Structure 1
Amino acid sequence: MNELDAKDVLNRYMDGKDNVKPDVLEASFSDDGIVTFEINTPNISFPDEIVGNKRISEVMFGDFHELFGQVKSYYLDQNFSQLNECKVVDQHWLVSMREKASGNTRIGSGTYNWLFEQQNQTWVIKRVHIVIDHMVSFEENSGWLDRLQAELSDYPWAEKPTMMGLISSQPELSNILEYLKR
């Protein structure tokens, strides 16, 4: 596996997850793919484990897109040092979205740990462990979320210093800002 292969798989995953494309998300995983979660914040929930690409697609689209809109997630680093083992580890991410019921902005952050495999001549996700360290909901009517997402034009990739600069204007995000400084 090379860096271009890894980026292709990661781009497909994010496109399927964020842009309401369950077929793309399903095809991003191996048939027996596994998603596990470690959730360190009380205001979001997922099952501990989801097995199988069809089930992964169902769960990640079930209630999630009914509850949240304007979802954009970003990879904040490109550490591909373990691709010889078909892994990407401790990849920081940040998600931005709007709560449909309240209109609040929601920002979350954590890490991904990926394991890839080749299936039918295509690289797919065999396993991903998603750590959700922070999830903050706050009211903002200034169009900040729209500006944030417009500023990050290389979706789904963003440089961590750029992201930190963009979120630093929101005092509600101070814990996420400190987290990203590590």
Structure 2
Amino acid sequence: MKHPYSTPEAVAQHLLGRPFSDLDEDEQHVLRHVVSRHVELQDDERLAIHASYGDRLADRVAAVGGSWGFIISFMLVLVLWALLNNDHVAALLGIKAWDSYPFIFLNLMLSMLAAIQAPVIMMSQNRQSIKDRIYNRHDYEVNLRTTIEILKLHQKIDRLTQDVAAMRQGGTTPD
């Protein structure tokens, strides 16, 4: 006798009460995995695992650039820059201001930093969104597998309950 959960079509019909063809692509994918009992990585998961050096660098730049440590140290550099380039403070320290007000060189440096940092952070955010999609797909798969296993257990308990009730009424043992 063929087991009722031997094909994805049988699992869909028996446990979910719907034909396999009516399920969406993710549900079909999970049912195939449940029946085969093995998990394979999809293309985007393989890409996320094997990130290039540039991708890993973008992740590190985004992690540093989005931290309070970076923000505070960057603010300190800007304040120090403004103080050292103030004509009065520079004269007191005996140095010559290299970028006096309105800090044209500082503006150039900040513009170049923003021009480079923004796309790098966006690359990292794109990678993070791929990671989030993978995580969500795995989470969905685990939830659907759990639901299917609970439905299987529920059916087994129902069968056992019916068998016990039949034994009590008829005094016979079930097959």
Normalising by structure 2, we get a TM-score of 0.18
Q: Which has the larger radius of gyration?
A: 2
Between Structure 1 and Structure 2, the one with more strand by share is 1
Give 1 or 2: higher helix fraction. 2
Per the normalisation by structure 1, the TM-score is 0.18
